[in-house]
Amino acid sequence: MTAYAKTTMHSNMKKIVILSILALVISSCNEEKTDSSSQETERLNTIEGTWKMVYGEIRENDSLDIKDLTKTDFVKIINKDHFAFFNQNHNDGNGFYAGGGSYTLVGNKYTETLNYTSAEAIRGHSFPFTIEIKGDTLIQHGLEEVKEANIKRNILEKYIRVAYGQPG
């Protein structure tokens, strides 16, 4: 083999190695983008997060009560296995209430067990709901029933996800 052939072959091998490394780096960058976008999609499809109520209705007997959200904020925070909710009037502390506890989620069946509340009649009760998540919207509906407190009502609540870093 001539010196020229050896030099050309050595130069071609260097190019192949450099191109292989470059292809590997580019493909790993694309994988990271895919992973982070799939993590973002997974985060958006999970119930975990901070949610602000935008619509709430209670159907009890033959009446329908739609929650007036023009003067109050209702926020629900859900982590891996617990939830908490807060209702705060815009102008004063009147009408403030809160509660929380544990929950289970199996498919779209979401059950809250209210462990923390000032309303003793409903403390410790479990409330089964059906949920649906559409983009940044959580829809929750079901029957709230506590015979001891004479409560039997159907609820429908719609929440929007509070963006990270934004106030509730």
Residue-wise pLDDT for 23-37, tens only, equals: 555 655 554 444 555
- Token look-up 């940044």 returns 136
Residue 11: both structure tokens together: 């130069």
Domain borders along the chain are 1-44, 49-161
Question: pLDDT tens for residues 111-142?
Answer: 999 999 999 999 999 999 999 999 999 999 99
pTM value surpassing 0.75:
no
- How far is the C-alpha of 83 from the C-alpha of 154, rounded, in Å? 20
77: its two tokens: 């925070």
Which segments in the chain show pLDDT lower than 50? 31-34, 39-41, 43
Looking at residue 163, its pLDDT comes to 81
Answer whether 76's CB lies under 8 Å from 83's CB.
yes
Question: Count of CB atoms within 10 A of residue 65's CB?
Answer: 12
Which of the listed CATH numbers 3.90.550.10, 2.60.40.10, 2.40.128.20, 3.30.420.40 matches domain 49-161? Answer: 2.40.128.20
User: 118 near 97, Cβ under 8 Å?
Assistant: yes
Q: Which helix (H) or strand (E) holds 64?
A: strand 63-66
